[in-house]
Amino acid sequence: MGRWRERLHFRQVFRAELARGEERFPFAVPLKVSLLSDRPVMPFSNSHNLSKMNYSAEDEYPDLSLHNNHMASILTLELYTKLRGKQTSSGFTVDDCIQTGVDNPGHPFIKTVGCVAGDEESYDTFCDLFDPVIEDRHGGYKPTDQHKTDLNADNLEGGDDLDPNYVLSSRVRTGRSIRGFCLPPHCSRGERRAIEKLSVEALASLEGDFSGKYYALKNMTDAEQQQLIDDHFLFDKPVSPLLLASGMARDWPDGRGIWHNDNKTFLVWINEEDHLRIISMQKGGNMKEVFARFCSGLTQLESLFKSQNYEYMWNSHLGYILTCPSNLGTGLRAGVHVKLPNLSKHEKFGDVLKRLRLQKRGTGGVDTAAVGGVFDISNADRLGFSEVELVQMVVDGVKLLIEMEKRLEKGQCINDLIPAQK
- Catalogue all structural domains in the chain, each as residue range(s) with its CATH number: 52-138 (1.10.135.10), 153-410 (3.30.590.10)
Helices assigned H by DSSP within 170-323:
189-204, 222-230, 241-245, 287-307
φ, ψ (nearest 5 deg) of residue 371: -110, 125
Tell me if 115 sits within 8 A of 67, measured CB to CB.
no
Quote the pLDDT of residue 12: 44
Give the annotated binding-site residues.
Answer: 169-173, 232, 277, 333-337, 361-366
Element (H, E) at 131: helix 127-137
Give the annotated binding-site residues for ATP.
Answer: 169-173, 232, 277, 333-337, 361-366
Element (H, E) at 45: none
Tell me if 295 sits within 8 A of 153, measured CB to CB.
yes
Tell me if 92 sits within 8 A of 123, measured CB to CB.
no
Quote the pLDDT of residue 105: 87
Question: What is d(CA 35, CA 44) in angstroms, rounded to the nearest whole number?
Answer: 19
Q: Which of 299, 287, 370, 298 is nearest to 335 (CA)?
A: 287
Quote the pLDDT of residue 245: 85
Quote the pLDDT of residue 371: 64
Q: Specify the pTM.
A: 0.86
pLDDT tens for 88-120 read: 999 999 999 999 999 988 877 778 899 999 999
pLDDT tens for 258-282 read: 999 999 999 999 999 999 999 999 9
DSSP, res 384: S
Question: What is d(CA 192, CA 327) in angstroms, rounded to the nearest whole number?
Answer: 21
- Block means of pLDDT (10 residues each) for the chain, 422 residues, are 42 42 39 37 59 93 94 97 96 95 82 94 98 96 97 96 95 98 97 98 96 92 82 75 85 93 96 96 96 97 97 98 97 97 94 96 57 89 97 98 96 93 80
Tell me if 41 sits within 8 A of 241, measured CB to CB.
no
